[in-house]
């Protein structure tokens, strides 16, 4: 089973990495965990932070 964790963001460049680092990398019974950032028109580097961290999907 795959789990996709969705995180809505608006100008979260300073805190996004902190939040992502605290998310689970493995959960019993889940074969794969992916991360989706929903960027709600951020004007800062939220998208770059997500890409640098290795987020699987970014919706703009």
Instruction: Say how far apart CA 34 and CA 42 lie, in whole Å.
Output: 22
Q: What is the mean pLDDT of residues 32-40?
A: 97
Q: Could you give the residue ranges of the DSSP H alpha helices within the chain? A: 16-22, 46-53
Mean pLDDT, the chain, rounded, equals 97
- From CA 17, how far away is CA 37, in angstroms rounded? 12
Spatial separation of the C-alpha atoms in residues 41 and 25, rounded to whole Å: 27
Take residue 1 and report the two structure tokens written for it: 């089973």
pTM of the model: 0.88
Residue ranges of domains in the chain: 2-59
Non-local CB neighbours of 41 within 8 Å, separated by 6+ positions: 10, 60
């Amino acid at each position: 089973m795959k789990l996709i964790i969705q995180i809505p963001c608006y100008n979260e460049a300073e805190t996004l990495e902190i939040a992502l680092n605290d998310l689970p990398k493995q959960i019993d019974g889940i074969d794969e965990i992916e991360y989706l950032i929903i960027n709600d028109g951020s004007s800062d580097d939220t998208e770059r932070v997500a890409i640098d961290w290795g987020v699987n999907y970014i919706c703009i």
